[in-house]
Amino acid sequence: MRSLLLPEMTNHRHVFHSDSLKRWNIFIWTIRSLLGLAVIGLLLMGVSLLINSYPKLPRLIGVNEEFKKLKTIDKAHSIEPISKKKTKLRTNQQAPPQILFKDEIRAGFLVNWDSISYATLRKNINSINLVLPEWLFVNPHTDSIVTQINWEAYNFIQAHHVKMIPLLSNFYEDKFNDSCIIRIVSEPEKRHKLISQLIGILERYGFDGVSIDFEDLYLLKNDQDLVEFHRELCDSLHAHEMLASQCIPPFNLDYNIVDLQKFNDYIFVMAYDEHYMTSVPGPVSSIKWVEKVLDYFTEEIESKKFVLCIAGYGYDWIAGGTARTVTFREDRKSTRLNSSHRT
């Protein structure tokens, strides 16, 4: 058996061995320098994020105030239309097939003025395929659009790949403003300006379309002005492969349903407020009343465009006074505390 002879190890020195501490000190200071640079980089990144972070959302008004809306809305953003691609406006009102929902719509409204709204969204995000956030408003002083986007909710929805179609509302400074809407829809130049700004906003934030929520249009004398607005908006949206939709309260003569449904991919019928804050106490949406809503609108709207919206809130009527809005959770909590009329 052949044995392996090893060299004498007693006085063996490694090739890189040195009695000097110079190389060790260089190594230590190199490590310290790299760590120092890393810390400085992290600090600079943090400062940059703080400086460029999104603005905080405004404070909410008192719990359950009328409509629970924002007292003020940020100053209008000057947003120029962004054209990612040149497209020719379509002459018909058929939406590009690829942007339509291939199955039933399972949607929910999202509002900034109720924290429960966002909490509910997070809990049910995997059960819906569309969110309609209340983030766009018409400023009656400038006849232009202001945005009020909840960026935490925006990023959350995008991360879950759920479509977003924001509401464009005429609710501003605690009330619905009809005069500005009348001006806009009745003047071609103002219509074009608002639609152009709206398309720019939708493209900038990657929204999938818009849902028009113009309410309390008491001063509207010519309903064809509103129809023409929706026709022009529908053409512009389809040209940019976006969805056109509208929220309509039931049994309201302000809306020419037959014509309006021609220029919308979807009509969201708001089947609630059978009784309201200043009415006598009663159900928000009784079964028989909702059945009447269904009977009426299914005769006027194509079934593929009809979306029924139901309420997730109630009213609390105090004897001798008007009602206040309450969430389902608040209603359950306060039921035992008073004997008010509640539905």
SS3 201: helix
Give the chain's largest Cα–Cα span.
113
Pairwise CA distance, residues 260 & 264, whole Å: 7
- Average pLDDT of span 43-49: 69
pLDDT level of residue 143 (50, 70, 90 thresholds): very high
- Average pLDDT of span 57-74: 42
Find the helix packing angle between 223-239 and 188-204, rounded to 10°.
Answer: 40
Q: Range with the lowest mean pLDDT among 3-12, 121-130, 224-233, 240-249?
A: 3-12
Q: What is the pLDDT at residue 313?
A: 86
79 close to 201: Cβ distance less than 8 angstroms = yes
Query: Is residue 248 pLDDT above 50, yes or no?
Result: yes
Find the helix packing angle between 115-124 and 151-159, rounded to 10°.
Answer: 10
Q: Tell which residue, 163, 155, 161, has the closest CA to residue 105.
A: 163
Which tens digits make up the pLDDT trace of 182-215?
999 999 999 999 999 999 999 999 999 999 999 9
247 close to 309: Cβ distance less than 8 angstroms = yes
Q: Got the DSSP string for 86-125?
A: --PPPSS-PPPGGGS-SS---EEEE-SS-HHHHHHHHHHG
Q: What is the pLDDT at residue 333?
A: 72
Pairwise CA distance, residues 230 & 243, whole Å: 12
Q: Tell which residue, 331, 266, 276, 332, has the closest CA to residue 301.
A: 266
- 167 phi/psi in degrees, rounded to 5: -80, 140
Pairwise CA distance, residues 100 & 96, whole Å: 7
Which tens digits make up the pLDDT trace of 254-310?
899 999 999 999 999 999 999 988 889 999 999 999 999 999 998 989 989 999 999
Mean pLDDT over all residues of the chain? Answer: 81
Highest mean pLDDT (candidates 29-38, 88-97, 140-149, 253-262): 140-149
Query: Is residue 24 pLDDT above 90, yes or no?
Result: no
pLDDT level of residue 343 (50, 70, 90 thresholds): low
Pairwise CA distance, residues 306 & 96, whole Å: 18
Pairwise CA distance, residues 257 & 131, whole Å: 24
321 or 335: which leads in pLDDT: 321
Query: Is residue 336 pLDDT above 70, yes or no?
Result: no
pLDDT level of residue 81 (50, 70, 90 thresholds): very low
- Average pLDDT of span 205-226: 94
Q: Tell me how far CA of residue 301 lies from CA of 131, 295, 319, in angstroms.
A: 22, 11, 40
184 or 17: which leads in pLDDT: 184
Query: In this structure, what token pair is assigned to residue 269?
Result: 């019928």
Query: Is residue 92 pLDDT above 70, yes or no?
Result: no
Query: In this structure, what token pair is assigned to residue 161?
Result: 């790949």
